[in-house]
Amino acid sequence: MADLIDLTEHGEALYADPHAVYAELRELGPVHRVRLPGTEPWDSWLVVGYEEARAALADPRLSKDVSRIQGPTLEERVLGKNMLNADPPQHTRLRSLVTRAFTARRVEAMRPRVQEITDGLLDAMLPHGSADLVEALAYPLPITVICELLGVPEMDRAAFREMSNEVVAPTSAEAYTAAMHDLGAYLTELIEDKRCAGPADDLLSALIRTTAEDGDRLSGEELRGMAFLLLIAGHETTVNLISNAVRVLLTHPEQLAAAVADLELVDGVVEETLRYEGPVETATYRYAAEPLEIAGTVIAAGEPVLIGLAAADRDPGRFTSPDSFDIRRDTRGHLAFGHGIHYCLGAPLARIEARTALRGLLERAPTLTLDAPPANWLPGMLIHGTRTLRVRW
């Protein structure tokens, strides 16, 4: 058995700068058995090397369906099955049904609305001279976009934010369980309301109507599970992509100056942020469906495996000077959106939102600077970012 490395010993420093910890781990090897921080610390394998992470993301021996290993999780019992906790052929079926409704055309059609929302948020923010960027722009843009896309009523969004925050960065096991049950009840009611209301143009209504060529449709439980995945993944990640991009730019003045001088570099800002300080620190759990080896390390059947996306994307074996933030870098191959059959379905929408927000912000507030040191880091190892980001201009 490999030596256990206790990550809880790093305390809050792990949340503020996980990259320093991952660099130490990579020096020791690409795969480690670790004790993870959280409301209930537990042990897992952690993959920190790029090549090993990329291979593991596409390895069918690493199951996303934990019910095959240890029975249904709380999430699955309360919310139902979604693409992220399913393996083929179930995953193939679910993803096929969702992509029939969540099309490239539907995403591209959102572009003018994303611009309109961004402009409105900046109109409200800029006269004040300073703001919490998360509260003023990074949060309201993606939550508005995903809620409009799915058809979530505006009056529900504040309550949804509280539930969502607790799910991705739990403050306690009890609060997490309560948030899961609240989300399950809310989504059940939302789906039933849409069934009763009849045809509408939002994505959730389209998912309710979607039928495969063989007549297959999403069940009520599957609709709830998919709505949960799209709502949570559709905004929490993008909130932190936008705020991380601004935070990193403001701590790299030469890169900020280059982007302000040439807004065509904004696409590079987004992609380098995804590699350098991506919002998803580790992919959600996989479980060894059978005994296997990763880089010579034996992992027994049933054991959990975390794939470190942030760790892999700073691997010097893959990216030159990986700890340097360079918006002109060739970032192709980064793993911020995953790899293989679970590659993020919402990546095109996230890119549209982040590019639009950053371009608008840099164009209209070229003197942007930090108003306070970054703090209030999100706990856990799923999402990396801060709850607040004070800026001025």
> What pLDDT is attached to residue 253?
97
pLDDT of residue 1: 58
Q: Name the H helices within the chain.
A: 13-16, 18-28, 50-57, 67-70, 74-79, 90-101, 104-109, 111-125, 133, 140-150, 157-168, 173-197, 203-209, 220-233, 236-250, 253-261, 266-277, 309-312, 347-364
Distance (Å, whole) CA 225 – CA 187: 9
Which pLDDT score, from 0 to 100, does residue 281 have? Answer: 97
Residues 306, 44: contact at Cβ < 8 Å? yes
CA distance 327 to 99: 32
Question: Whole-angstrom Cα distance, residue 311 to residue 280?
Answer: 11
Strand order of the β-sheet with 390-392 is: 130-132, 390-392, 369-370
In sequence order, what are the residues at sequence separation of 6 or more whose Cβ sits closer than 8 angstroms to the Cβ of residue 226?
82, 83, 94, 98, 207, 218
Q: For residue 299, what is the enclosing H or E element?
A: strand 297-299
d(Cα 254, Cα 251) in Å, to the nearest integer? Answer: 9
pLDDT tens digits in sequence order for the chain, 393 residues long: 578 999 999 988 999 999 999 999 999 999 999 999 876 778 999 999 999 999 999 999 999 998 877 777 888 888 888 899 999 999 999 999 899 888 899 999 999 999 999 999 999 999 999 999 999 999 999 999 998 998 888 777 778 888 888 887 788 889 989 999 998 898 899 889 888 887 788 888 888 888 767 788 888 888 898 888 888 887 889 999 999 999 999 999 999 999 999 999 999 999 999 999 999 999 999 999 999 999 999 999 999 999 999 999 999 999 999 999 999 999 999 999 999 999 999 999 999 999 999 999 999 999 999 999 998 999 889 999 999 999 999
Contacts of 165 (CB under 8 A, 6+ apart): none
Residue with tokens 């925050």: 165
In sign, the C-alpha dihedral spanning 102, 105, 108, 110 is negative
CA 129 to mean position of chain CA atoms: 30
Tokens 């923010």: give the residue.
Answer: 125
Give the Å distances, CA to CA, from 23 to 29, 137, 304, 338, 389.
Answer: 10, 32, 22, 20, 26
From CA 226, how far away is CA 208, in angstroms rounded? 11
- For each of the domains in the chain, give its residue range(s) and CATH number, in order of start: 4-392 (1.10.630.10)
- Angle CA(296)–CA(298)–CA(304) in degrees, nearest 5? 125
Q: What letter would DSSP give residue 134?
A: I
Distance CA 272, CA 59 (A): 26
Q: Name the one residue in this structure whose structure tokens are 């058809």.
A: 151
Please state, in angstroms and rounded to a whole number, the distance separating the CA atoms of residues 17 and 22: 9
List 294's β-bridge partners, or say none.
Answer: 297
> In angstroms, rounded to a whole number, what is the distance separating the alpha carbons of residues 344 and 15?
23
